[in-house]
Structure 1
Amino acid sequence: MIPNLKYLLVVNNMVSYISPNSFRSLTDLKYLDLSKNNISILDKSLLKDNIRLNIIKLGSNPISNMPAGFFSINKVKVQMLDTKNSSLKQSCSLFSQMYVSCQGRDSGS
């Protein structure tokens, strides 16, 4: 992969599985858009090495749950989490203390 990559858009590509090591070498990644895929499960340590990541878009995926401790284990300081049109049961209200902006089922946006 490209270690200096800052923006990764994998939108509308029928992705259904992401290996836990997929983003490991992308330590400068700031923006990750995985929206409009078929992702239903996220590995707990998926973003372990992406400490600069501040925007995550997961909208329009059948993700129903975030793994327990997903954001604390990964040390990600997200400014915006987009879960619009996803099956995520944990709504933005559960993440409200961690994010500047959350766009999801209960956000009204």
Structure 2
Amino acid sequence: MCTTNNLTLGCFLLTLAMFMVVMEASPSKKIDESTDEFAPVIIENARFVGYNNLSHLDSNLYEDVIRVSFESNNLTHTPIRFLGDLHNLIELTLKNNIIENFDIKSLDHYFATKLQKLTVRNQNIGPLLNNSFIRMRNLTYLALICTFPSRIEKSTFNGLTKLDELDLSGNNITVIDKELLQPLKKLRILILNNNNFKKFSIIPVLNNLETIYLENNPIERAASINRTALRLKAPKLRHIKFCTQVSISCQNFENICVS
């Protein structure tokens, strides 16, 4: 045995050999070659404000983006060429833009079906034609706020079988046809604030509807909304948000279309 009083050469060599055996038996920690402190940053959210031209944008830099917002831009066309390369996009917002040749149907044509949320606000969109969103079959949220469609065809929302919430505020709508909302089998929330409804009756095809917003419409009187009849047609309906244009409680909604 090696002791502090017996530090011979043989004892030293024996100790060294034992140390080498222990080192060989211990598992070595592998170096993660995939770790790179200079790896590129993945962009998941992008916001573009105040652009007049998007031609210089490299869509390859945004290939992993999942949420995009275009706000207060002045463009000649809808940025479909740029957006068409964003294959992971699930949420798109177009707000307060001036897009001269805006075409809502072009968004449907170029987009992958991954899109889940679409908001268009303060943008004249022209007519809403049949099958305008037919490829966006995974949409759960659609907001067309202050878009002033010149007309809304009856099959506009065909294919939106997963839509959970629809916001059509501020569009001067006077009536909703049954055929228009018939494809929206899973719709729970319908927002129709700041339109021009003088009378309103529930669409009997909306069996899953839970909440209706009707603030700031010129409905003649609250009594014109028969809540009992509404609940008979929509058994899951629990909330009806209502006030007239002259009601004090509606003052907060008057400037909905002001950017």
How would you bin the TM-score normalised by the shorter chain? 0.7 to 0.9
Q: Distance in 2 between matches of 1:95 and 1:28?
A: 26
TM-score (norm 2): 0.36
Matched, 1:46 2:180: yes
- Offset of residue 16 of structure 1: 4.8
Correspondence list, 1:27-106, <5 A? 27-66=161-200, 70-72=202-204, 74-89=205-220, 91=222, 93-95=225-227, 97=231, 98=234, 99-105=237-243
The alignment-based identity, stated in percent, is 25
Q: Which has the higher contact order (CA 8 A, sep 6+)?
A: 1
Structure 2 alignment gaps of length 5 or more: 1-132, 251-259
Amino acid at match of 1:101: H
- Report the number of matched residues: 105
Please provide the CA RMSD for this pair.
Answer: 2.4
Equivalent position of 1:23 in the other structure:
157
Counterpart CA distance in 2 for 1:12 and 1:46 is 19
| 1:10 and 2:141 matched | no
TM-score by length of 1: 0.80
Quote the offset at 1:44 in angstroms.
2.1
Asked if 1 retains the 8 angstrom alpha-carbon contact of 2:187 and 2:206, the reply is: no
In the TM superposition, what is the alpha-carbon distance from 1:46 to its structure 2 partner? 1.3
Which structure dedicates a bigger proportion of its chain to helix? 2
Q: CA deviation at 1:78?
A: 1.1
CA deviations on 1:35-77 (whole Å, 9 max, x unpaired) are 111111211221112110000000100022336xx522x2432
SS of alignment partner, residue 226 of structure 2: helix
After TM superposition, the structure 1 stretch with the greater mean CA deviation from structure 2, 17-26 or 92-101, is 92-101
